[in-house]
Amino acid sequence: MRLDAAEIKLIRLPLKFSFETSFGVQTERHIIVLTLYSGGLEGYGEGVMEHLPLYREETIAGAWELLEQVFLPRVIGKEIANPEALVAELAPFRGNKMAKAVAEMAFWDLYAKSLGQPLWKLLGGVREQVAVGVSLGIQKSLEATVAAVEKHLSQGYRRIKLKIKPGWDYDVLKAVREAFPQATLTADANSAYQLSDVGTFRKIDALGLDYIEQPLGFDDLLDHAKLQREVSTALCLDESITSPEDTRKALEIGAGRVINLKPARVGGLLSTRRIHDVARSFGAPLWMGGMLEAGIGRAHNIHAATLEGFTKPGDTSSASRYWQEDIIEEGLEARDGFMPVPAGAGIGVTPKKDYLAKLSLREAYVSEK
- Shortest spacing between CB 5 and ligand OSB, in angstroms: 30
C-alpha 24/C-alpha 34 separation (Å) is: 26
**Does position 315 bind Mg ion by CB under 5 A?**
no
The binder of 291, among ligand OSB, Mg ion, none, by C-beta within 5 to 8 A per type, is ligand OSB
Q: Taking Cα atoms as reference points, which of 25, 75, 69, 71 lies closest to residue 50?
A: 25
Give the residue with the Cβ less far from ligand OSB, 174 or 321: 321
Give the residue with the Cβ less far from ligand OSB, 145 or 190: 190
DSSP string, 5-36: EEEEEEEEEEEEEEEEETTEEEEEEEEEEEEE
C-alpha 366/C-alpha 360 separation (Å) is: 17
Give the residue with the Cβ less far from ligand OSB, 220 or 238: 238
- Binding track, positions 209-248, relative to Mg ion; x by CB under 5 A: ----x------------------------x----------
Expressed in angstroms, the distance from the first to the final Cα of the chain is 18
C-alpha 71/C-alpha 63 separation (Å) is: 10
Helix (H/G/I), strand (E/B), else coil: 258:
strand
Site residues (CB under 6 A) for ligand OSB, limited to 160-189: 188
Site residues (CB under 6 A) for ligand OSB, limited to 231-250: 238
Choices 7-15, 188-196, 245-253, 325-333 (CB under 5 A): range interacting with Mg ion = 188-196
Q: Are the C-beta atoms of residues 49 and 291 closer than 8 Å to each other?
A: no
Catalytic residue among 121, 163, 353, 358: 163
**Does position 210 bind ligand OSB by CB under 6 A?**
no
Give the residue with the Cβ less far from ligand OSB, 315 or 326: 315
Burial profile 249-284: b = 16 or more Cβ within 10 angstroms, e = fewer:
bbbeeebbbbbbbbbbbbbbbbbbbbbbebbbeeeb
Site residues (CB under 6 A) for ligand OSB, limited to 250-289: 289
- Shortest spacing between CB 135 and ligand OSB, in angstroms: 4
- Cα dist from 212 to 41, 108, 185, 256, 289, whole Å: 42, 32, 9, 9, 14
State which of residues 227, 291, 307, 334 lies at the interface with ligand OSB (CB under 6 A).
Answer: 291
State which of residues 190, 228, 233, 242 lies at the interface with ligand OSB (CB under 6 A).
Answer: 190
Choices 92-100, 207-215, 290-298, 332-340 (CB under 5 A): range interacting with Mg ion = 207-215
Catalytic residue among 97, 100, 113, 262: 262
- Cα dist from 312 to 157, 186, 289, 309, 363, whole Å: 12, 11, 10, 9, 38
- Shortest spacing between CB 188 and ligand OSB, in angstroms: 5
Q: Taking Cα atoms as reference points, which of 90, 88, 76 lies closest to residue 43?
A: 76
Give the residue with the Cβ less far from ligand OSB, 26 or 114: 26
State which of residues 50, 188, 210, 220 lies at the interface with Mg ion (CB under 5 A).
Answer: 188
The question of whether 163 is a catalytic residue gets the answer: yes
3-state DSSP of 190-241: CCCCCHHHHHHHHHHHHHCCCEEECCCCCCCHHHHHHHHHHCCCCEEECCCC
**Does position 315 bind ligand OSB by CB under 6 A?**
yes
State which of residues 22, 35, 38, 135 lies at the interface with ligand OSB (CB under 6 A).
Answer: 135
In a 13 Å sphere around the CA of 362, the CA atoms on its Cβ side amount to: 9
The residues assigned a catalytic role are 163, 262
Q: Which residues contribute to the site for ligand OSB (CB under 6 A)?
A: 55, 135, 188, 190, 238, 289-292, 315
Q: Which residues contribute to the site for Mg ion (CB under 5 A)?
A: 188, 213, 238
